[in-house]
Amino acid sequence: MKIAMGLQILQIIVSISFSFAANFTEPNKTLETTVSTLNPEEVEKFGKLSAEWWSPSGPLRSLHAMNSIRVPYIASTLNCLRDGRKRRILDIGSGGGFLSEGLAEHFQNLGWSDTEIEIVGLEPNSELVNIARSHLPENLKGKVNYFVDTVENYVVRNPNQNFDTVVMSEVIEHVDNPAEFLKYAVRAAKPGGSIYLSTPGKSVFSWMTLILLMEHVLRIFPVGTHNYDKLIDLNDTLAMLRENKCEIREVRGSLYNPLLNVWHWNDLFIPVAYAVHAVKSN
């Protein structure tokens, strides 16, 4: 009954999205900035899910399933750069290792050696870092390093570690002061390096889909996973990237099918969930 009701709601959202997908609010130019972006409540919230992090039927199965679209997309920013030199990816807010491990496995399958690719995962919750380290297969340990840290602290202590690709996937909506967070994330990228960011949009469509439908009706996500007040409109995200001297290369929308646990790229759903590929200016 819940699934049938959920599908009816989703059909309504889709029909509305066809008419209004291109309507975005004006950028907010007064975002507060501060050195600290860590939100302890958000860190604790996801830490409580550590025991079920890698469960195929657990509360994070949709996030794990997202690897099917985000891993090849992120990897595509490096495929043309393979020349024998080590390429480096920074995964900010790596949690229990879904994305870092998925990227390592992807490059391993493509034949990249440990001397050609390095993935650094930053996660402020030590329990989740332990989960990520313990789950990492032996054959991938030469490609991935996890650290208990925030991006701002890591960048300040390691100012010369310039990454080819910096990833912020489903994390900026959980921090305080997103403008400050983004500033340090961009600083971690080398000039000409890629920035990949994915996050829910801030619109009536994202509230209906992610919070009402996915959390409260279908219970796909744990209730409270998303705080609407912390979601960021696409225009605000693009403005922050441009303020940090990044060129926007592509914006894509994504759609999650809860019945099949499958993600698809679909630009009609940009108001619900979007991904941005940008490049840091030289």
Question: 169 a known binding residue?
Answer: yes
* CA neighbours closer than 13 Å in the CB half-sphere of residue 20: 14
Q: Which amino acid is at 138?
A: E
Question: 127 a known binding residue?
Answer: no
Q: Which residue has the tokens 């996915």?
A: 214
Strand, helix or coil for residue 229: helix
The CA distance from 65 to 67, in Å, is: 5
Question: 224 a known binding residue?
Answer: no
Nearest Cα neighbor of 53 from 122, 104, 101 is: 101
Question: 64 a known binding residue?
Answer: no
Question: 70 a known binding residue?
Answer: yes
The CA distance from 52 to 184, in Å, is: 30
66 close to 274: Cβ distance less than 8 angstroms: no
The CA distance from 225 to 219, in Å, is: 11
Helix (H) or strand (E) holding 98: helix 98-109
Q: Per DSSP, which regions of the chain are E strands?
A: 87-92, 117-123, 144-148, 163-169, 189-200, 246-257, 262-265, 273-280
Which residues carry a binding-site annotation for S-adenosyl-L-methionine? 70, 93, 169
Which residues carry a binding-site annotation? 70, 93, 169-170, 173-174
Which residues carry a binding-site annotation for Mg(2+)? 170, 173-174
